[in-house]
């Protein structure tokens, strides 16, 4: 059974200053529509990453970290299929 909410602890500085290392976040696995600006949890190489959606084209996402100097994101690994999205961050609210 899939759980509708995930609690995760931030590791690393890729989303600083909005998300700090050690901070807890709450995310929903119920994803109706993805939009640029939303912060998501995605699975890449058996790791869960927290990134912001920069662009969407068809079924692919270009994701970035809010702290580009500390982020490994689509600038490094390219576009990702939407199927890699695990959840969308609900709390804290993270407007760009």
| Sequence ranges of the domains in the chain | 5-91
pLDDT of the chain along its 96 residues, tens only? 567 999 999 999 999 999 999 999 999 999 889 999 999 999 998 999 999 999 999 999 999 999 999 999 999 999 999 999 999 999 987 666
pTM score: 0.90
* Dihedral-angle region of residue 11 (phi above 0 means left; psi in -120 to 50 means alpha; beta otherwise): beta
CATH of the structural domain 5-91, one choice from 2.10.109.10, 3.40.1440.10, 3.40.50.1700, 3.40.50.300:
2.10.109.10
**What is d(CA 30, CA 17) in angstroms, rounded to the nearest whole number?**
26
């Amino acid at each position: 059974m899939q759980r509708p909410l995930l609690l995760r602890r931030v590791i690393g500085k890729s989303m600083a200053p909005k998300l700090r290392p050690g901070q807890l976040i709450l995310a929903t696995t119920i994803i109706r529509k993805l939009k640029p600006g939303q912060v998501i949890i995605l699975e890449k190489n058996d790791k869960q990453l927290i990134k912001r959606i920069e662009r969407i084209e068809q079924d692919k996402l270009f994701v970035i970290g809010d702290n580009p100097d500390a982020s490994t994101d689509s600038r490094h690994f390219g576009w990702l299929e939407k199927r890699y999205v695990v959840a969308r961050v609900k709390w804290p609210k993270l407007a760009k």
